[in-house]
Chain A
Amino acid sequence: MGAIIETNDLRAYYITNAYGVERTVKAVDGITLRIQEGEVYGIAGESGCGKSTLLRILLGAYQPPLTVVGGDVKYHLEGEVLDAAEMTEEQQRDLKWRTISYIPQGSMHVLNPVRRIRDTFHDFISAHRDVSKAESFQLTADYLRDLGLPEKVMASYPHQLSGGMRQRVTIALATILWPKLIFADEPTTALDVVVQRGVIQMLKDVQQKEGSTLVLITHDIGVHANLADRIGILYAGKLVEESDTKTILESPRHPYTRYLIESLPSLDSREERMAIPGRPPALDRPPSGCRFHERCPLAKEICKTVEPQLIQIEPGHFTACHVVEEELSHVAV
C-alpha cells in the first residue's frame, strides 16, 4: 500500500499587512508527512500549535492571509498524482465529498435547521449524483441502518436530535458517498464520554467498511489511543514526534509528548499530576532553536540556538530532540 497523501517540507504562513505593519504567523513550518492508504493517522497537540491550519492546507481549503510559502501537498488518487495547489476548481469540486471528505467540528452549525435530515441528505447526494428523491432517501435509509442509526432520525429536524446523534448524522452525511480520504477535525470534542464512545465506534465502522483513510485531528490523546494507527505530535507548527500509537503512548521520547501523556488524569490514581509549565509560544515570533526549549526541563545550550531535525530513532519512530539524539549517539559509541 502506498501513500494517499503526502507533504514535503510544507510551510504555510498567515501573512497580514495592516497599516504598513507586516506580521507573519508561521503556523505550519516545515512539515513532512506520508499518510498511507487505509490507515488512521492522528494529529495531536495543544490549541494554537497549527493543527487546524495543517488540516486546511491538506484539504486545499484556504484563502489569504493563509499562504503556502514552501513545499507541496500531493494526493495519490486512482493511480494519479495530484498537486493540491495546481488543481482546477472543477477538479476540486469533483474530488470533494466524493473522494475527499471532511467531518467538521460542531455539528450544531452544519445541518440546516429548517430542513429534515432526509432532505439535507437528498440535497447533498443530488449535488454529486444524478438521483431522484426516492433513490436518495433509500440510499440514506440503507446507510443509516448500516451504521446503526435509528430510522427515526430521517424525519427529524436537527434540533430534535441529541448532540451525539447530530454528530453521528454529520459523520454519516460526510461519508455517504464513500470517500477514500476522510479528514475529521475534533470530531468528539465537547461531547460527553458515552456519546464520544458512540462517535468513536462509528468512525471506526465507517473507516473499516471501505478501508478508507482517516486523518484525525484532536487534542484528546484518549481518542487517538482508541482510533489511530499512527500519531504525529505537533508543537508550534512543527512535527516533533511520529510513531505508531502504541509506541507513542508507551515509550514517547520527545519531552513534549511525555508531558502530554503524563499530564492526563485517569481513574487509576488520584496522585497529584503536574501541568505542562508555560504555554505554547506565539507563532509570529517563534523561539529560536528548538521551539520547545523554553518549557523543556531537559533543555541544554544547543537547544536554544540549533533547531533539531526529525530523525528516526527506531524503525518508524521519528523525533526531533537534541537530548534524545545525544543519548542515541552515546549508545552507538
Chain B
Amino acid sequence: MSQSEPLLQIENLTKVFHIRQGFASQDFHAVDNASIIIDSDKPEIFAVVGESGSGKTTLAKMVLGMETSSQGILRYKNRVINDISRKEMKTWFYREVQPVFQDPFAAFSPLKRIDSYLYETAQNYKMVADKKEAPRYINEVLSEVGLTLAEIAGRYPNELSGGQAQRVAIARALITKPSLIVADEPVSMLDASLRMSIVNMFRKLKEDNNVSVIYITHDLATAYYTGDRIAVMLRGWIVEMGPTERVLGNPLHPYTQNLKSSIPSIKSDESWDEKIDLAVIETDEYTRTGCKFAGRCPAVMDICHDNIPPSVRHEGRTVKCFLYDESVDPAKKTALAPAAG
C-alpha cells in the first residue's frame, strides 16, 4: 500500500445475491473477492472491462453506496461506505463521489428542463453562496465539458443530441467538484465519433481537475485509450489487473487474450481464423466450482475444473490463472502464445 491514505480502498469485496427457485436457494456471487486501490495523491482513470454479466455494474453500485457489500472492505477516504449515515451520504459522500450512467435520456426526466438539474445540484450541495451566483458557476462547469449555459438553458432533454445530453450528465456530476467519478458505460449508447469526445473529456478532467475516474465499459479500445490501469472482470472475478499498456499490450490471462483478439480489426488483412466458443447459459459459469473460464479456455488443465486459481503477480500485473502459478507442474501447462496483434 502507498504511504498516503488511499482514495478508494476495495479489499476482497464480495457481493452475494440469493436466488430462490422453489424451495432451493442458490448463492450467486456477482462480485467475488475484488481488490482495487486508487491512490488519492495521483488521479487516474481506472478502467473496468468485461462481458455483460461480469459484475462490473454491481461493483460500481457498491462503490456508489447504492448496494451494500456482503463481505470485504470498501472504504472511501478511510470511511467504510456501508456505515456512512444517510445524512452524511448527502452532505459529504455524494459531494465527493459522483455517478455518470449509460443512458443520459434515462437519467434526466423528459418533463424537466435540463438546466434545472444543474441548478438543483449546485444549490443542494451549497456550491454557490446565493442564487445569483449560480449561473456563473454553472457556466464555468459547463465550459469544462465544452458547452455553455446559453446552449442548454431552458431546453428539455429531447432537444439535445445524445452526446450533448451525456456532456450535461457529466457536467452535473462535476458541479460538486468530486474527487471520484464512477462512469458506468458512459459511451456505449453513443456513436464512435461522439465516443471520442466524451473519452477525451475524461482524460482532460483527470489532468486539469485532478478527478479520478472509474471507467466501466465493454469497449476495450476506449479502455486502452483512456485507462491508466485496467481490471478485466469475468463472472464476478477480476482475472487480470495492472497498467493498461501491459495488460492489453500483452495479455496473460487466456480470457483477456480472447477479449483482445475479438476486437474487430479495421485492417482488412486481419481476420479471425479460429472459431470461438461462447457461454451458453449465463448462470452455468457463475456456479462453476473451479475456474469460471475453464469451459471456454483453450489452455484448460485438469486442475482448473475443481480448484479456484490463485491471483499471482506476474510481469507487473496480477493474474488469476493456474498457468502462472509456480506450484503447478510446468509440464501440464499448455503453451499459450500471446494473442497476435
Contacts and interface: CB of A to CB of B under 8 A. Distances in A.
Interface string B242-268: 000100110000000011101111111
Given A265-B224, A270-B225, A270-B245, A162 B262 contact: no
Interface string A135-177: 0000000000000101011001000111111001000000000
B268 A265 contact: no
Contacts of B163: 279
A47 B191 contact: yes
A77 to B, nearest CB: 31
A164 B225 contact: no
A263 B193 contact: yes
For chain A, the bracket of interface size reads 35 or more
Interface residues of B, number: 50
B17 to A, nearest CB: 16
A165 B164 CA distance: 34
Contacts of A272: 200, 203
Contacts of B192: 219-221, 260, 263-264
B188 interface: yes
Contact of B199 (A47, A48, A191, A265): A265
A48 B278 CA distance: 32
Contact of B281 (A46, A165, A259, A279): A165
A245 B267 CA distance: 10
A245 B268 contact: yes
A77 B22 CA distance: 53
A165 B280 contact: yes
A65 B218 CA distance: 37
Contacts of B341: 267
Contact of B162 (A47, A150, A225): A47
Given A152-B281, A194-B51, A226-B271, A265 B276 contact: no
Contact of B194 (A153, A225, A275): A275
A163 B275 contact: no
Contacts of B245: 270
Nearest to A205: B275
Interface in B103-150: none
Contacts of A219: 191-192
Nearest to B201: A275
A329 interface: no
A330 interface: no
Contacts of A160: 281-283
A46 B192 CA distance: 8
B53 interface: yes
B264 A222 contact: yes
A185 to B, nearest CB: 15
Interface string A41-57: 00000111000000000
B240 to A, nearest CB: 15
A165 B276 CA distance: 13
B278 A195 contact: yes
A112 interface: no
B173 to A, nearest CB: 20
B268 A273 contact: no
A299 interface: no
Given A201-B275, A264-B192, 18 more contacts: A47-B191, A148-B275, A194-B259, A194-B276, A195-B52, A196-B262, A196-B264, A221-B266, A222-B266, A223-B264, A225-B268, A245-B268, A267-B341, A270-B245, A273-B196, A275-B193, A275-B196, A279-B164
6 contacts: A152-B281, A220-B264, A249-B267, A259-B193, A264-B192, A266-B263
Closest 5 CB pairs of A and B: A222-B264, A275-B197, A275-B196, A192-B218, A197-B262
